[in-house]
Amino acid sequence: MNERTITLHKLLLWIGRSAPQSQAGIFRFDRSKPRRFTGDLQQVTFEDLAGADEAKARLQEVVDFLRSPAKYHKLGARIPRGVLLVGPPGTGKTLLARAAAGEAGVPFFSISASEFIEMFIGVGDSRVRDLFEQAKATAPGIIFIDELDAVVRRRDAGLGAVNNEREQILNQLLIEMDGFGERHELIILAATNRPDMLDPALLRPGRFDRRVTVGLPDRKDRQGILQIHTRQLRLASDVNLGLLARTTTGLSGADLANLCNEAALTAARERHEMVQMVDFEEALDRTILGANRVILLNDLERRAAAYHEAGHALVAWLTPFADPVHKVTIIPHGRALAVIEQVPSGNAYNYSRSYLLARLAVLLGGRAAEEIALDDITTGAENDLVEATVLARSMIVRWGMGSLGLMALRNEETQPLLREQPSPRRDYSEETAARIDRDIQRILQDRYQAVIKLLTDAREHLDQLVQILLHD
């Protein structure tokens, strides 16, 4: 294929893909009026949701309350009003909210904030009032606000009419939530994948003060999701959901649901009696081609990523003062190929030297593990090295922890990172600058040697951890 045919091919794929989406658009148009789901609509429960165990457990409390509010009122318990579901698109946030309503057997009112704004310019705030009126009339119940970030971007984020509209809707929302009183029987669930964009006023106690994180599914959860979405399909015996789960790292629940449906459509097109493994494979090619945000790693890349993340995790585990590791995964996550999540244990304003050295060690652990276990090293450490360098520099010039003594040296570090040109605002000599560079190098080098030793001694554990990660 030459370049033009490739482009044409892509275009056709794209057109093929966009058709069902525009249908969804029509459907969603209807939805921007608050819709009410009652018993006559198909009930969804937690059974329809695979994985997300932590989120389900956290929402169970909401369900219990909605089932028997009197019990909670009698005890004088403070009931959550707003729960924020945070996670990437397609991870089942909307489904979770509906399932919570289904479990509790209460009405479910749902609006999508972005459509709301577009639909009701000028009357948005009165619509919010209507929604709450309607919901209060049938309480207990759940109100679900999708894409909350669209309505309540930080107030300074823009200008103009739309912003005015947002402001009014936001204010009305706050008024409604604050007006609940202690004995309310409505819970507001809201979904966002940009919690950082939310107006802080929304996150205060008594408003959206609970946060439930929903992440991309791991292998086990992917298998569960595939099971749910193939329940109603006629599957041929060669379909191996375990294998499919293993090869779909990085796909969301929505992607997997879509995959199952595409496989069924493919089977119909091919006039197969049942949906076969080849149909899934073809559907997979198609859906992944379309969703180019998904990065599927090949075996070598997965191995490198696994050693890298395992290196971070193991160093964190073995180093006193380091933040505890919450989770390690090699599921691609946004732009990063893999992640390790650490939960900072101390406060975020005052760090000890031991903590900072431990942090440096953890940052260098990724590269060190690659060097120890692989024949080659990768670019995976880029961000780690940037962060480690900035940290080491700060230790020396800001916090008097280097060999230059206690003199605080003003330099570009107070400015945003990664600027190309050297800062003109430097208040020390070239000679001092060179000493700083040497000191940074020394600190990093020392840490790196220590980490190499640590991981070499713990090689067995490193390999074990990698095995587990690769299994994901």
CA distance linking residue 99 with residue 52, whole number of Å? 12
Strands 108-112, 141-146: pairing kind = parallel
One-letter amino acid at 374 equals L
Residue 95 binding partner per list Mg ion, ligand ADP, Zn ion, none, with a CB distance cut-off of 5 to 8 Å that depends on partner kind: ligand ADP
Q: Given the complex with Mg ion, which of 94 and 252 has the nearer CB atom?
A: 94
Q: Which two tokens stand for residue 33?
A: 């009026």
Shorter beta-carbon distance to Mg ion: residue 87 or 365: 87
* Neighbouring C-beta atoms of residue 370, cutoff 10 Å: 20
Q: How many CB atoms lie within 10 A of CB 220?
A: 14
Q: From the CB of 333, what's the least distance to Zn ion, in Å?
A: 12
DSSP state of 349: S
Minimum distance from residue 254 beta carbon to ligand ADP (Å): 4
Q: How many residues bind Mg ion (CB under 5 A)?
A: 1
Q: Which residue has the tokens 């479990």?
A: 103
The 8-class DSSP code of residue 199 comes to -
Count residues binding Zn ion (CB under 5 A): 2
- Of the residues 262, 309, 370, 371, which is catalytic? 309
109's tokens: 């009112």
DSSP 8-state class, residue 203: G
Is the alpha carbon torsion for 335, 341, 346, 347 positive or negative?
positive
Binding partner of residue 384 among Mg ion, ligand ADP, Zn ion, none, CB under 5 to 8 Å per kind? Zn ion
Cα dihedral 375/250/242/279 (nearest 10) = -110
Least distance from C-beta 93 to ligand ADP, angstroms? 3
Q: Should residue 94 be labelled a site residue for Mg ion when binding is judged by CB under 5 A?
A: yes
Find, among 91, 105, 92, 94, the residue nearest to 63 by Cα. Answer: 105
* By CB under 5 A, residue 366 contacts Zn ion: yes
Residue 249, classed as helix, strand or coil, is: coil
DSSP-based three-state secondary structure for 279: helix
x/- map, 380-419, Zn ion, by CB under 5 A: ----x-----------------------------------
341 as an active site residue: the answer is no
What residues numbered 185-214 form the site for ligand ADP, per CB under 6 A?
191
- The yes or no reply on residue 342 touching Mg ion (CB under 5 A) is no
Nearest residue relative to Zn ion (C-beta): 366
Q: Does 90 bind ligand ADP (CB under 6 A)?
A: yes
The partner in contact with residue 242, picked from Mg ion, ligand ADP, Zn ion, none with C-beta cut-offs of 5 to 8 angstroms by kind, is: none
Please select the residue that binds ligand ADP; options are 58, 81, 94, 465, rule is CB under 6 A: 94
| Sign of the alpha-carbon dihedral angle for 151, 28, 208, 338 | negative
Candidates 91-99, 125-133, 312-320, 387-395; binding stretch for ligand ADP (CB under 6 A): 91-99
Answer yes or no whether residue 110 interacts with Mg ion by CB under 5 A.
no
Token couple for 204: 């205060």
Q: Which residue is nearest to ligand ADP (CB)?
A: 253
107 contact, one of Mg ion, ligand ADP, Zn ion, none, CB 5-8 Å limit per kind: none
The full DSSP string for 174-197 is: HHHHHTT-TT--EEEEEEES-GGG
Report the residue number whose CB is nearest to Mg ion.
94
Question: Do residues 167 and 141 make contact, with C-beta atoms less than 8 angstroms apart?
Answer: no
50 near ligand ADP (CB under 6 A): yes
CB atoms within 10 A of CB 426: 14
91 is a site residue for ligand ADP (CB under 6 A): yes
Q: How far is the CB of 145 from ligand ADP (least distance, A)?
A: 12
Coil, strand, or helix at residue 299?
helix
Nearest distance from C-beta of residue 381 to Zn ion, angstroms: 6
Burial of 3 (0-12, 13-18, 19+ CB in 10 A): exposed
- Under the binding rule (CB under 6 A), the answer on residue 248 touching ligand ADP is no
Q: Which of 102, 124, 140, 253 is close enough to bind ligand ADP by CB under 6 A? A: 253
Q: Does 52 bind ligand ADP (CB under 6 A)?
A: yes
Q: Which of Zn ion, ligand ADP, Mg ion, none does residue 228 bind (CB under 5 to 8 Å by kind)?
A: ligand ADP
**Residue 289 interacts with ligand ADP (CB under 6 A)?**
no
Type of residue numbered 321: F
- Complex with ligand ADP: residue 250 or 311, whichever CB lies closer: 250
Cα 226 to chain centroid distance, Å, stands at: 21
Please list, in sequence order, all residues whose beta carbon lies within 8 angstroms of the beta carbon of residue 359, skipping any fewer than 6 positions away.
322, 323, 351, 391
Is 228 an interacting residue with respect to ligand ADP (CB under 6 A)? Answer: yes
Residues that bind Mg ion (CB under 5 A): 94
Residues that bind Zn ion (CB under 5 A): 366, 384
Q: Tell me which residues are annotated as active site.
A: 309
Residues that bind ligand ADP (CB under 6 A): 49-52, 87, 89-95, 191, 225, 228, 253-254, 257
